[in-house]
Amino acid sequence: MRSSPTILHLDMDAFFATVEQASKPSLRGKAVVVGGLGPRGVVATASYEARVFGVHSAMPMAQARRLAPNAAYLVPRFALYRSISEQVMGLLRDLSPLVEPLSLDEAFVDLEAGGTAWDEQSARLAGAKLRADIRAVTGLTGSVGLAASKMLAKIASEQAKPDGLVLIEPGTERALLGPMSVRTLPGVGPATGDHLRRAGIHTVDELAEAGEDELVRLLGKAHGHALYAMALARDERPVVAEREAKSVSVEDTYDVDIHDRVRVGTEVRRLADRCVRRLRGAGLSGRTIVLKVRRYDFSTLTRSETLRGPTDDPAVVREAAARLLESVDTTGGVRLLGVGISGLADYTQEDLFAQAAGVREDTLAEEPEAAPAEERQAPTERLWPAGHDVRHAAYGHGWVQGSGLGRVTVRFETPHSEPGRVRTFRTDDPDLEPAEPLPLVTRRPGEGERAGTGGVGSTSP
């Protein structure tokens, strides 16, 4: 392990929710919950104001509504989050070539590899400058942890939340870790934590005292050795700049169980097309097609088929997914479907299409086949997701507070305005249309180039 705290861990504070608060003045300082709003939706992120009520990530949305009935519940705007994430990752890559993203809002950085830090003082200065740069470029806050290892840097950033910086001085790691719960260590989830608790092990000190042999007996060789090393504050894992994707997948959870076998097949084909679009977007192909089905009783079935070689052909993937579906009993109803592709490669084997049809099909269907004529006669009500941006011909830019029963309620405000007024319109109002998100930060004349890049986070004067 290093002798200097030159590994940095950045974790943006309640990222999705904070972005929403930054773009909506009326929500600043208030409870905001972002996630799926359907009956089976889950919380993606909760603002710190919502966490006071016990709301947290991965919680069923119905439970969150019971805990915080007056919070603002919004549908995620992933394109905006990704754009802001790219700005943040750009700032991290300015510090070092070794940046290991873990998600849109979290990453490790090897400051020593970039020559940015070499001791405690320079590491602290680099962390402070990063936090200031993130605020200047995005208007958001991030918490920074600095330590001599990845494990300790992540623990430090958790201690720094929200909007802080914590540096763990080399030599103090054992004393810091000792009284902490075993759940603090990477790889100790609920199941492992319960197993250790039943053995009388609750803290990291007790984990170290148990000894390596006992941990191997309790948890197995690999897990036991790894946890014992971490309990002694040993973590030699390097920061890895490129993390190879092992699979590409998409899935949908349905508000009402699907019983119609034809509808299930249609959904699987649609998911297969979405999965291939994501695969092609990454410039990859894959050999193994995976189908995931969660049934009405919450039992989850997974089926897979490995092709002769890698493909990115939608027809091949659709046909393989359909074959896998034939082996699954969906009689009682389906609540979740997913299609994935693994065995990834950066090339394709053209002749695989022969497994599905006789001609290569390069066009991806955006949606399932058209509805019957009698269904198409009725006009489809326009959808207005809560929290998404809109523009009205007379009132300007706003966002959707809610919709239903043929009406949509909009609050008209921008990231740089005062809290705005609320108005209600028909969902088919011709003066109302979806809009792109506005910049969170406005660039001022004379500011540096970095502060002016990345569309949604800044704008030119």
pLDDT digits (tens, 9 = 90+) for 339-363: 999 988 765 544 434 444 433 334 4
Domain assignment present for 148: no
Judgement on whether residues 276 and 363 belong to the same structural domain of the protein: yes
Judgement on whether residues 251 and 226 belong to the same structural domain of the protein: no
Number of H helices, E strands in the chain: 14, 17
Judgement on whether residues 324 and 352 belong to the same structural domain of the protein: yes
Judgement on whether residues 312 and 402 belong to the same structural domain of the protein: no
Q: Identify the CATH number of the domain in which residue 287 sits.
A: 3.30.1490.100
Q: Are strands 165-167 and 142-147 parallel, antiparallel or unpaired?
A: parallel
* pLDDT at residue 4 is higher than 50: yes
Provide mean pLDDT across the span 91-104.
93
CA pair distance 16, 59, nearest whole angstrom? 15
What percentage of residues in the chain have a pLDDT greater than 70? 87
- Cβ neighbours of residue 434 closer than 8 Å, sequence gap 6 or more: 388, 389, 390, 391
Q: Does residue 346 or residue 271 have the better pLDDT?
A: 271
Which of 134-143, 217-226, 227-236, 373-382 is the most confident on average?
134-143
Q: Are strands 32-35 and 72-74 parallel, antiparallel or unpaired?
A: parallel
What percentage of residues in the chain have a pLDDT greater than 90? 64
CA pair distance 423, 166, nearest whole angstrom? 45
Judgement on whether residues 254 and 203 belong to the same structural domain of the protein: no
Q: What is the 3-state secondary structure (H, E, C) of 271-299?
A: HHHHHHHHHHHCCCEEEEEEEEEEECCCC
Contact in structure between 47 and 14 (CB atoms under 8 Å): yes
CA pair distance 177, 154, nearest whole angstrom? 12
Judgement on whether residues 227 and 317 belong to the same structural domain of the protein: no
Which of 121-125, 222-226, 234-238 is the most confident on average?
121-125
Judgement on whether residues 256 and 355 belong to the same structural domain of the protein: yes
**10 Å Cβ neighbour count for 202?**
16
Judgement on whether residues 364 and 393 belong to the same structural domain of the protein: no
Domain assignment present for 450: no
Q: What is the four-CA torsion angle of 20, 26, 31, 37, rounded to 10 degrees?
A: -60
Contact in structure between 181 and 202 (CB atoms under 8 Å): yes
Listing DSSP states for 220-245 in one string gives -HHHHHHHHHHHTT---PPP-S----
- Can you read off the two tokens belonging to residue 10? 């950045």
Judgement on whether residues 364 and 287 belong to the same structural domain of the protein: yes
Judgement on whether residues 345 and 427 belong to the same structural domain of the protein: no
Domain assignment present for 192: yes
- Can you read off the two tokens belonging to residue 309? 């070689």
pTM of the entire predicted model: 0.76
Q: Does residue 424 or residue 363 have the better pLDDT?
A: 424
- Indicate which residue of 20, 49, 100, 106 is catalytic: 106
CA pair distance 180, 204, nearest whole angstrom? 6
Nearest partner of 424 among 443, 441, 451, 405, judged by Cα: 405
Judgement on whether residues 301 and 362 belong to the same structural domain of the protein: yes
User: Angle 314-326/261-281 helices, nearest 10 degrees?
Assistant: 140
Domain assignment present for 94: no
Q: Identify the CATH number of the domain in which residue 193 sits.
A: 1.10.150
Listing DSSP states for 342-354 in one string gives EEEESS--GGGGG
Domain assignment present for 267: yes
Give 370's DSSP letter. Answer: P
Question: SS3 for 399?
Answer: strand
- Can you read off the two tokens belonging to residue 448? 């540096």
Provide mean pLDDT across the span 421-434.
95
Residue 411 is predicted with a pLDDT of 97
Contact in structure between 16 and 104 (CB atoms under 8 Å): no
Judgement on whether residues 189 and 255 belong to the same structural domain of the protein: no
Residue 380 is predicted with a pLDDT of 47
Q: Please report which confidence band the pLDDT of residue 461 belongs to, taking 50, 70 and 90 as the band edges.
A: very low
- Can you read off the two tokens belonging to residue 239? 């920061």
Count Cβ atoms within 10 A of the Cβ of residue 257 and give its class: 0-12 exposed, 13-18 middle, 19 or more buried: middle
144 — alpha (psi -120 to 50), left (phi > 0) or beta?
beta
Domain assignment present for 382: no
pLDDT digits (tens, 9 = 90+) for 21-71: 999 999 999 999 999 888 778 899 999 999 999 999 989 999 999 999 999
Residue 450 is predicted with a pLDDT of 47
Asked whether residue 105 is marked as a ligand-binding residue, the answer is yes
Question: SS3 for 381?
Answer: coil
Domain assignment present for 40: no
Structural domains of the chain, count: 3
Q: What is the four-CA torsion angle of 314, 320, 325, 328, rounded to 10 degrees?
A: -150
Residue 449 designated active-site: no
CA pair distance 234, 229, nearest whole angstrom? 5
Provide mean pLDDT across the span 208-224.
88
Domain assignment present for 6: no
**10 Å Cβ neighbour count for 275?**
26
Contact in structure between 8 and 146 (CB atoms under 8 Å): yes
pLDDT digits (tens, 9 = 90+) for 296-355: 888 889 999 998 888 888 999 999 999 999 999 898 899 999 999 998 876 554 443 444
Q: Which domain holds residue 259?
A: 247-368
Residue 447 is predicted with a pLDDT of 52
Residue 381 is predicted with a pLDDT of 54
Residue 426 is predicted with a pLDDT of 94
- Cβ neighbours of residue 208 closer than 8 Å, sequence gap 6 or more: 178, 228, 231, 232
Asked whether residue 213 is marked as a ligand-binding residue, the answer is no
